[in-house]
Every structure is written in structure tokens, then in C-alpha cells.
Amino acid sequence: MFLHLTRISMLLTFVVVVLGAYTRLSDAGLGCPDWPGCYGKVVVPDTQEKIDASNEIYASRPLEPAKAWKEMVHRYAAGTLGTLILISAFLAWRNRSRPGQQLVVPLLLVGLVVFQALLGMWTVTLLLKPIIVMGHLLGGMTILALLAWTYMKSSRGAPATRTDQHPLRVWALLGLIVVALQISLGGWTGANYAALICPDLPLCQGRWWPPMDFIEGFIPWRGLGVNYEFGVLEGPARTAVHMSHRLGALITLTLVGYVAIRAILDTGPKIKLAGVILLLVLLTQFSLGVANILLTLPIAVAVTHNGVAALLLLSMLALVFHTRYTMT
């Protein structure tokens, strides 16, 4: 039961991450101006009388049902995920005496889910503050990674044991760190609405190095009471954010591509397969990033870009696992 719940939770976390990206990219992040309900209701107001009453309370942000439903569907899914993780932690505690039963990570996940819920609340109450929006994305990715790690260690029904020093151990870990940093840059780019500040490739605004303000672009906190919907950065600051993500993509493509090719050339079948999957996901993700610019950020491509980022993280994590553990 613990293994089944972990697998279901992992899949649902991926769905929640994609739904969160869709909510943000369709400008529905403030579709409900309150939390955890929507205009004071558990369900989006659907009658004209309820809509009028809601608009009286939140006169500064009239109800847009389509955006509100996007936000609430994301919250429903996240709430369901939190419940599953809580049940998994209970099962882990109950079965803690069994050989190979993991306990620390399931309990840690409960704390992370609570913190992730707080980040979801602050995303709304702090009006899409970029550091909170990025943190919310990274929180979701961290939960996904920990669930995947738990599943990989438990999936064979026997404890995972550390392998001998594999030559790719350090490289795989370095690749995981680079992927995590690149996802962070992507989250910062999206939260600051900087994805389209450079509409051309390989140049940016017709130059190899356009005017950029890195200090302004990476200020983490700007105080309270600022509405960050659609961004507050000036052009040079947004350009600095975008170019950082673009340069990060090249570094990720080079380093992770090298690690993937090394894994493909390995003699171990699991590592070889992990390398093939990693390389395919990496090339897909890079292509989606290029398509986002050339096609002017169509929502389907942009959401897929976020989803494949999660798959890239999982693929890199799988390689890290197989270079460090074997199932007994």
C-alpha cells in the first residue's frame, strides 16, 4: 500500500506541477484573490447572485470564472496530494519496523507539503511576488523528486544498497545540481514575465549582448504591497533575467548532454537506459525552449516546457540513483 500510494502521489505531483504552470501561464494566478477558498467559497460562485455578492466584497478584482476555476482545480489537486502524502507518512510510521521501510523522507514530505501550502497562500496574498512564485515551483519539484527517490528505493520490495564507487557518481550529481539551478532560473524568468523580452534567436533584441541590469533583475525582495502581476521590472532587468536563463540552458545542454552520453556508453544496462532517456528528454526540453521564443510563447508549448523540466529532473535523478544504489 505504501508503494502504491507513493507511485500515485508521484504521478499526481507531476499533474499538480503542470496545472500550476498552466494556471500561471494563463494569467490565472490571482483568479481567486483569497485562500484557501475562492471569493469566500469552496466552489467558484456560479450564480449571478453569488457573483454579484463576491464582486461587492472584492471590488478591486471582479470574478472571472474561467480563471477562478483554473486556480481552484489546481488547489483541489494539491489538496488531494497533501492527503495522500499524509496517509503515506502514517503507513510508513506504522510499518517502521519492517526491513527497508523508509520513514525519514515520508515524514519530511509532510512538512514540505505544509510549507508548500503556505507558499501557495503567499503567492495569492503577496500578489505573485516572484521569490514566492519561484519557491512554490521549486517546492513542487522537490516533492516530486523526493517521492521519486522514495519510489526507486522501495520499488523492488528490498532495501537498496550502495554500490561501489561508480565513475559517473560525481558527474551525475553535478548534472542534477545544474538542472535544479536551471529550473530555478526558469521559474524566476516566468515569475518576472521575462520570457518574451528577447524575441529572436540566437541574438537578443538584435544583439549578442543587449543592455542588461543584473542587479535590478535579481533583487529577491521588494517589500510588501506590490502587485507583481504581469511584472514590474524594466526592460534591461528583464533582459538580464532572460539571458541568464538562456545561458543556463546552454550550460545545461552541454554538461547534462555529456553526462548522458557517458551513461549511454556505460556497460550497465540500467545506467545505459537512464542515459538514453536523459538525452532524449534533454533534447526535447531544449527544443521546447527554442520553440517558446520562435513561436512567441504559445501556452501549450510553454506548459509542456514546464512539464518536461520535471521529467528532466526525474531523469537526472534516476541516473544519480543508479550510479549510487543497487537493489538486493
Catalytic residues: 71
Alpha carbon distances (Å) from 195 to 60, 190, 245, 291, 312: 28, 6, 9, 12, 20
> Alpha-carbon Rg of the chain, whole angstroms?
21
Over the range 85-124, which residues count as b (16 or more CB within 10 Å of their CB) and which as e? beebbebbeeeeeeeebbeebbbebbebbeebbebbebbb
Helix (H, G, I), strand (E, B) or coil at 207: strand
Secondary structure (H, E, C), 227-260: CCCCCCCCHHHHHHHHHHHHHHHHHHHHHHHHHH
**Who contacts 312 (Cβ-Cβ below 8 Å, separation ≥6)?**
179, 256, 278, 281, 282, 285
Q: Kindly report the CA angle at 201 between 200 and 202, in degrees rounded to 5?
A: 140
Contact at 8 Å (CB) between 232 and 127?
no
Residue 159: which H helix or E strand, with range? none
Residue 239 CB-density burial (10 A; 0-12 exposed, 13-18 middle, 19+ buried)? buried
CA–CA distance, 9 with 11 (Å, rounded to integer):
5
Question: How many CB atoms neighbour CB 227 within 10 A?
Answer: 12
